[in-house]
Amino acid sequence: MSPILRQAGKQLLDGVLAACAWLIVEGLWTGTGWYLKQTAIWVLISLSVGGLFQLTRHVYSLTDVRDTMRLAMATLTLASLAVVLKVMTGPLGLFPPISNVAFGASILTGGFWGTLRVGCRWWRETRARKSANGKVDQRKFRTLIVGAGQAGALVLQELRRHTELGFHVIGFIDDNTSIYGERVHGIPVLGGTARLEEIVRKHKVTHAILAIPSAPGQAVRKLNSRLQSMRVQIKTVPGLYNLLGTQVWKPVIRDVSIEDVLRRDAVHLDHSALLEAIEGSVVLITGAGGSIGSELARQIATFKPKHLVLLGRGENSLWMIQRELHRLFPDQAYSLELMDIRKRNGLREIFQIYRPDIVMHAAAHKHVPFLETHPAEAVLNNIFGTMNVVEAALECGTRTLVSISTDKAVNPTNVLGASKRIAECIVLEASKKAAAGTSFVSVRFGNVLGSRGSVVPIFMEQIEQGGPITVTHPEMTRYFMTIPEASQLVLQAGVLGETGKVYVLDMGEPVKIADLAADMVRLSGLTPGRDIEIQFTGLRPGEKLHEELFLDQERSTTTLHSKVYETNPHGIDADKLAVGLEGFRKAIALPFKQRQPEIVRLLQAMVPTYTPSILGVGRYGGHAWNRRKPNSPLAPQEACRRKNPPSKDATAPWLVLNKSRVQTDEEPADRLPFSLEPWAPIDELDA
């Protein structure tokens, strides 16, 4: 049917219903005959008001709350016209009961129109349900919805719309005692989580959907564990931390993920202050294609910057974030700049073109074992790359620079941590040279879930392949937070923070990697040790058993945010920093056998708390470990810095030092534990 005919049919139906309403009220009210002239006038008035509120412009079978509100406003308008008629009865010489008839007819007309629209929706949903019942296995999943709030109600509506999924909701579970025994859209609230086992057994529940998007990870983990023990299959909905800017939460039903189990309270940002700081500003992000850089781009775009400059050296990753920004923020002005931060002149040129007000420096090499075998790359990228960004920002008058650091910079045992610690000191030194009113800060945090190279996607891949899951040490722990949470707190601390500070994000409690692996196996519906084996392979070059977030006497609180700590940073003396940087310039041009030991020496001289791992570049300090063989020895636990070392009982049998494999740095290169590539001098520093 054409749109014109469809609209004409809707208008005709509304007109007939309005006429019926007038005739019914007129016959009941006055007890006289029907006057077609008055009825026709009423129909015209009703259709005019209906047209004003566009009541026939929506699909009746999809009537929602907004459509109902428009209908209510139209009915109120008709009733108001009846009141006006009553006031004007005398001056216009109207029949006195006419205003009363109009008032009654307006209410009845609104009722008829509402019944028509709701009836169309009811008919559509009933027909869809019957149609789905003919296609879907009649053995539907007996389902509980955990959470009887707004999210639970939306989940119920979603399941009713998609009956082909086969979920038959038999009740809600909620700890709010005031709603026990009541119904949500016709479905009863059966009780609280304390009666979960009883309710599951009594109602023969096969599936449960966790509809608590604001619940912390500890609560999700507990519920997940209880339901799994009862062999109930579990689904969930996205947490509130997944929301971006003004996005509306949607009841997308999916499997429980490790992000849900480790979920923490949603971050509450100072949106007004961030909007004031970012709106209308030019923002440049280095490493914009990476996990943190791309999320920073999404978060910053919600605060309407004047221009967003996405800078990185990975063309595919830049292309991906470009597509996403175009989809999520079609009105946002942005530019892509394919540039390596090691290229000093090219980077300065970009800064002079855009003259960014805010710089988010997220570009860095972050892979610990790789940087142990290629320390010169860490020097070039993490140290000199940061220096290039800082110098370019100072030259073009950048108002705010935020450098992303890592918890590995605290008492480092690897090149990554030592290089990022020096990068922190470069930013601290720049804060002393920056103009008044500017802010140069670093923000330090640990691992982020789902980032490239993190354990979660690696474990997922190993589970899909049938195992085993490889964990380096049974006692290894790491701090984790989600990418959105880390990015939001970086914005809060960096953009609103005080210059010359190093801020540390509250990472919560450390998580045992072995426990994380076991949880991921269970979430996949498998049993650790039976379906998927967990193997311990030994510490990798540069790894610590336990990360730290603060140096001694460094931690202090701040009023900036409840999840942000402020440190009292200890920088490097300006002269010592300049000498060290010059030493690095010369070291990276040396032949391999001279370059690696010299870089280690310089890192130790500039970062006194740095203890090189003997599994990595520490071999240049007199020890070398052959890790070519599968049963290679590992470093003693003393090499893994931590304040509270694990108990002797926790030591695994394979964590035994085999002294017969100790080598010296005089051995030929072909016997060193890592493959060595020839090195050619490069010109990134002066390009």
Cα–Cα distance for residue pair 418/577, rounded to 1 Å: 14
**How large is the C-alpha radius of gyration of the chain?**
34
Is residue 36 exposed (0-12), middle (13-18) or buried (19+ Cβ within 10 Å)?
A: exposed
**593 tagged catalytic:** no
Three-state helix/strand/coil letters over 400-443: EEEEEEEHHHCCCCCHHHHHHHHHHHHHHHHHHHCCCCCEEEEE
What letter does residue 532 receive in the DSSP assignment? B
Which one is catalytic: 408, 420, 544, 563?
Answer: 408
Q: CB count, 10 Å around CB of 656?
A: 11
Return the axis-axis angle of helices 483-496 and 271-278, rounded to nearest 10°. Answer: 70
Are 311 and 335 within 8 A, CB to CB?
no
Cα–Cα distance for residue pair 453/456, rounded to 1 Å: 8
Q: Got the DSSP string for 92-138? A: HT--TTHHHHHHHHHHHHHHHHHHHHHHHHHHHHHHHHHHHHHHS-S
Cα–Cα distance for residue pair 674/379, rounded to 1 Å: 19
Determine what percent of the chain falls in helix, strand and coil, rounding each to the nearest 5. 50, 15, 35
Alpha-carbon distances, residue 146 vs 61, 173, 235 (angstroms)? 29, 5, 10
Cα–Cα distance for residue pair 391/458, rounded to 1 Å: 37
Q: Rounded to 5 degrees, what are φ and ψ at 363?
A: -75, 130
Sign of the C-alpha dihedral, residues 536, 540, 544, 546? negative
Residue 2: strand pairing partners:
none
Residue 308: strand pairing partners:
283, 334
Residues 6+ apart with CB under 8 A from 60: 10, 116, 117, 120, 121
Cα–Cα distance for residue pair 12/104, rounded to 1 Å: 21
Determine which helix (DSSP H) or strand (DSSP E) holds 267, and give its type and residue range: none
Residues 6+ apart with CB under 8 A from 501: 441, 442, 566, 567, 569
Tokens of 321: 């974030």
Helices (H), 437-539: 455-464, 483-496, 513-523
Helices (H), 302-436: 315-328, 344-354, 368-373, 375-378, 385-395, 415-433
Cα–Cα distance for residue pair 486/447, rounded to 1 Å: 9
Cα–Cα distance for residue pair 359/305, rounded to 1 Å: 12
Of 441, 430, 360, 443, give the one whose Cα is nearest residue 395: 430
Determine which helix (DSSP H) or strand (DSSP E) holds 497, and give its type and residue range: none
Cα–Cα distance for residue pair 225/220, rounded to 1 Å: 8
Determine which helix (DSSP H) or strand (DSSP E) holds 213, and give its type and residue range: none
The residues annotated with a catalytic role in the active site are: 408
